[in-house]
Amino acid sequence: MKAEAKNTSYKKAARHAEFPPTARVKQEMIAWFWVVLVFLLVNGTIGQARVIPSGSMENTLLVGDHLIMSRIGYDAGVPFTPWHVSLWRNPRRQQMVIFRPPYGHNQPDLIKRVIGLPGETVDVRNGSVFINGRKLEEKYTTGPTELPERSEMLERFHGLPLTIPKDQYFVMGDNRGNSYDSRFWGCVPRDAIIGTPVTIYMSVDAPEDAWNGNIGDRFLAYAEAVIHPGRVRWKRLFETF
C-alpha cells in the first residue's frame, strides 16, 4: 500500500512538473481564444439576438419581444464594427428583415416587412398598397395604409408612386399608423440588410423605455419578470417566422 501511495504521489508530482504554472496559464489562454473566436464567428455570420423597442411591427412583433436573427446568406461581418459584406440571399416579398437605416449613421437597426422588390412600382391608394397597379393582399397589418405629409418626408425622397431602383427594397412596418418606414425616407439598399428574424426566445411586457438603450430600465424589466412571471408572455415563446 505504501508503495502504491508513493507511486501515486510521484505521478502527481511528475504531472505538475510537466505542466508548470506558465504552461497551464498558456493552455487556458488558448482555450479562451477559441471560445472567443467561435463566438465572433457565430455572431458575425450565423445569428444574433435582437429586442423589439417599439410598436411599429404590432401585432406581429410586440414591444419586448426578444428575437434570434439569422444572418446566414444575407450578411457577414466583424462584430462590434461597421465592417461587413453582403452575401447571396435576397429577401422575398412580405418577409421581415433587419437592416441598417439608410437615413443616418449610428442609428439602431430596424425591422420591417419587405413590400416592394427591385424594378417594381409601388403606390398607396385608398388605404391599400398597390404593386405594379395590383392591390397587395395584406392580412398582417394594423390600421389602414396612409401616405405621410410632404413635410414629414426626408427632403431627398419625393414620395409615391415610386419605381424601386435596382438592388433596393421598399419596406413598411405592420402597424401602419405608427411606423417610420419607406413611405417617409425611401428604399433600403440590399447591402444594408443584415438578416431576418427566426424565432422569439423571450417576450417581456415592459414599457418601450426599457428597450431603448437605458440599462437601468432594462435591468428593472428583467427583475420584474423574475419577481412577477406574469410579465413574461409565455405563449409567444419559440414562435417562428
Q: Which domain holds residue 191?
A: 55-61+69-202
Residue 24 is assigned to a structural domain of this protein: yes
**Do 121 and 34 share a structural domain?**
no
The tens digit of pLDDT for each residue in 86-101 reads 888 999 999 999 999 9
Residue 39 has pLDDT above 90, yes or no: no
Averaged pLDDT for residues 31-55: 66
Residue 42 has pLDDT above 60, yes or no: no
**Do 186 and 83 share a structural domain?**
yes
- Among 202, 125, 111, residue whose Cα is nearest residue 159: 125
Q: Which of these ranges, 71-75, 154-158, 168-172, 235-239, has the smallest mean pLDDT?
A: 71-75
Residue with the larger pLDDT of the pair 79 and 153: 153
Residue 216 is assigned to a structural domain of this protein: no
Give the pLDDT band of residue 28 (cuts 50, 70, 90).
low
**Do 145 and 33 share a structural domain?**
no
Averaged pLDDT for residues 199-227: 93
Integer Cα distance of 5 and 113 in angstroms? 70
**Do 80 and 23 share a structural domain?**
no
Give the pLDDT band of residue 37 (cuts 50, 70, 90).
very low
The CATH number of whichever domain residue 167 belongs to comes to: 2.10.109.10
Residue with the larger pLDDT of the pair 148 and 24: 148
What pLDDT does 47 receive? 72
Residue 209 has pLDDT above 80, yes or no: yes
Averaged pLDDT for residues 148-166: 94
Give the type of residue at 69.
M
218, exposed or middle or buried, with CB in 10 Å at 0-12, 13-18, 19+?
Answer: middle
Residue 20 is assigned to a structural domain of this protein: yes
Residue 223 is assigned to a structural domain of this protein: no
**Do 161 and 81 share a structural domain?**
yes
Residue 114 is assigned to a structural domain of this protein: yes
1, exposed or middle or buried, with CB in 10 Å at 0-12, 13-18, 19+?
Answer: exposed
**Do 177 and 80 share a structural domain?**
yes
What pLDDT does 12 receive? 47
Q: Alpha carbon of 144 to those of 120, 121, 169, 173, 185: distances in Å? A: 22, 20, 21, 12, 19
**Do 36 and 74 share a structural domain?**
no
Q: Say if CB 162 and CB 122 are below 8 A apart.
A: yes
Averaged pLDDT for residues 167-186: 97
Domain total in the chain: 2
Averaged pLDDT for residues 55-65: 96
Residue 109 has pLDDT above 70, yes or no: yes
First CA to last CA distance, the chain: 66
**Do 85 and 198 share a structural domain?**
yes
121-125 vs 75-77, strand pairing mode: unpaired
Residue 225 is assigned to a structural domain of this protein: no
**Do 185 and 74 share a structural domain?**
yes
**Do 184 and 111 share a structural domain?**
yes
**Do 102 and 27 share a structural domain?**
no
Residue with the larger pLDDT of the pair 37 and 179: 179
Catalytic center residues: 56, 112
**Mean pLDDT over all residues of the chain?**
85
**Do 161 and 90 share a structural domain?**
yes
Residue 146 has pLDDT above 60, yes or no: yes
Integer Cα distance of 112 and 78 in angstroms? 23
Q: Alpha carbon of 125 to those of 75, 106, 128, 174: distances in Å? A: 34, 34, 5, 17
